[in-house]
Amino acid sequence: MLLSLPLPALRRFAVCCVRGKQRGCRGFVAASQLSHREAMTKGLVLGIYAKEKEDDALQFTSAGDNFDKLVSGKLREFLTISGPPLKAGKTRTFYGLHQDFPSVVVVGLGKKTSGINDLENWNEGKENIRVAVAAACRQIQDLEISSVEVDPCGDAQAAAEGAVLGLYEFDELKQKKKTVVSAQLYGSGNDEAWQKGVVFANGQNLARHLMETPANKMTPTKFAETIEQKLKSVSNNTTVHIRPQSWIEEQAMGAFLSVAKGSDEPPVFLEIHYRGSPNADDSPLVFVGKGITFDSGGISIKPAANMDLMRADMGGAATICSTIITAATLKLPLNLIGLAPLCENMPSGKANKPGDVVTAKNGKTIQVDNTDAEGRLILADALCYAHTFNPKVIINAATLTGAMDIALGSAATGVFTNSSWLWTKLFEASTETGDRMWRMPLFEHYTRQIVDCQLADINNIGKYRSGGACTAAAFLKEFVTHSKWAHLDIAGVMTNKDEVPYLRKGMTGRPTRTLTEFLIRMSEDKENSQ
């Protein structure tokens, strides 16, 4: 037995635990009479809090305490001798502690007292859990273990989000794939919160999948068909309209059509409805998403470097559609509509030329001085159409401007809104999810720059290089009459390198969870007001 080992041997075992599958550890597993197959069947993730004071004892979560009792205090003993206290997000792996869990990963959760951080504008405790659980689950995945049970760590929803988001990787087009790991809750009593976290994370992962898929495999038509299939699979209270070019022409969406005409791929206007409210006449919340499935820039062509990332220029459409699918999965008592103008922006003999003038659905003429400012053109027509549903609110999301990436980087989604009430709702939701939002200005200062136009009512770019995200928002404002509207510029949060530890490198699917949390709060406010 382990506890009968002399102290030098015990220390050697602790070293083997830290080194993972190195030879010392293999020796221990063999000594414990565990077959290779048994050792690779299931993993366990447990959390441990940082010490408040230097001389404090190790403080496990309740699940960690229970497991330590199950193994007669061995976990605490080996943690104590195996190295310094675990910092937040750092892991240590132990083998052979329990026959049901041959591999146990302990991960640092930071301080137990962590909560809302007003400077960071998020719940630091929840964010620590997401980061920690993701790191630990990836450690299990690296061991090629296909199943893991996860400590709720004091917040089962955050733990589920960390596990499901952290394990996701787009590798379906590769022959060699990572081990698929099934994550379940360890223990009982937190099942509802865990399942909610799984649904939240799956919604964001759907957006990540849509954004990451290459443009030749995620055309406007394929995108629409994928969303139709997903939405109908989660709820019967749905309707999907995949509108063809003839319908777009009937709607006089001249701005949208002017972008689409440069490509051989036909445009699609995707319209999805979810009817969750018991009152059929309840006004819907309308979401509009930019759906450029590939953006070359058109005649104002982009530089070749990193142009491949423009497969995700439909990130707005991906996030709003994924949000509605998540809301339908959760059976939220709301009526929701999603609108996604879908097309490619390509250079050809039919493409928009700088200086062309096109006419939007509301009759306004637009001088197209930069064909790479195409997202606002397709959104202009979609926003006009959104007003026809008598909506409670209109929210649009778009990977709209590089200027937003310059302004905020990947720290937060930029929000331009004419409603302080709506901003407060979005901000509070983002604090809860850790997928933050930050309010940006809609000053008349910016409007003057786009309405001062030589050939038409409005120009699709501002007079000056500065304030590009703000002039783009001012352009969209010209097509909005609703008093509760928000424009989310998600260009800066489109990709992840290493800024969000629980997301791998690649497309992020942000801010799907924040929009979902916003809808949950809207549904709760509605129920409380009845």
- Does the CA dihedral 320-322-326-328 come out positive or negative? positive
Alpha helices in 414-483 (DSSP H): 420-433, 444-451, 468-477
Burial of 437 (0-12, 13-18, 19+ CB in 10 A): buried
Q: Is 376 a catalytic residue?
A: yes
Amino acid code (one letter) for 24 = G
Q: Give residues with Cβ within 8 angstroms of 416, minimum separation 6.
A: 439, 440, 441, 442, 470, 473, 476, 477, 486, 487, 489
- How far is 210 from 203, CA to CA, in rounded Å? 11
| Residue pointed to by tokens 């928002």 | 473
Chain-centre distance of CA 423, in angstroms? 19
Q: Which of 302, 484, 521, 526 is catalytic?
A: 302
Give per-residue burial for 127-159: e unless 16+ CB within 10 Å, then b: bbbbbbbbbbbbbbbebebeebbbbbbbbbbbb
Helical segments of 352-508, H only = 375-386, 402-408, 420-433, 444-451, 468-477
Q: Which pair of tokens denotes residue 357?
A: 């003038």
Closest residue by Cα to residue 426 from 524, 500, 519:
519
Classify 461 as helix, strand or coil: coil
The burial class, CB within 10 Å (0-12 / 13-18 / 19+), for 178 is middle
Closest CA to 352 of 258, 424, 213: 258
Q: Half-sphere exposure (CA, 13 Å, Cβ side) for 298? A: 26
Among candidate residues 101, 116, 113, 115, the one with its CA nearest the CA of residue 151: 101
**Would you tell me how many other CB atoms lie within 10 Å of the CB of residue 217?**
11
Q: Burial of 90 by CB count in 10 Å (0-12 exposed, 13-18 middle, 19+ buried)?
A: middle
Q: Is residue 12 annotated as a catalytic residue, yes or no? A: no
Maximum distance among all alpha carbons in the chain? Answer: 88
Could you write out the three-class secondary structure of 183-224? EEECCCCCHHHHHHHHHHHHHHHHHHHHHHCCCCCCCHHHHH
Catalytic residue among 376, 436, 477, 510: 376
Cα separation, 496 vs 493, whole angstroms: 7
Q: What share of the chain is helix, strand, coil (3-state, %, to 5)?
A: 40, 20, 40
Q: Are strands 291-295 and 393-398 parallel, antiparallel or unpaired?
A: unpaired
Instruction: Identify the three-state secondary structure at position 95.
Output: strand
Active-site positions read 302, 376
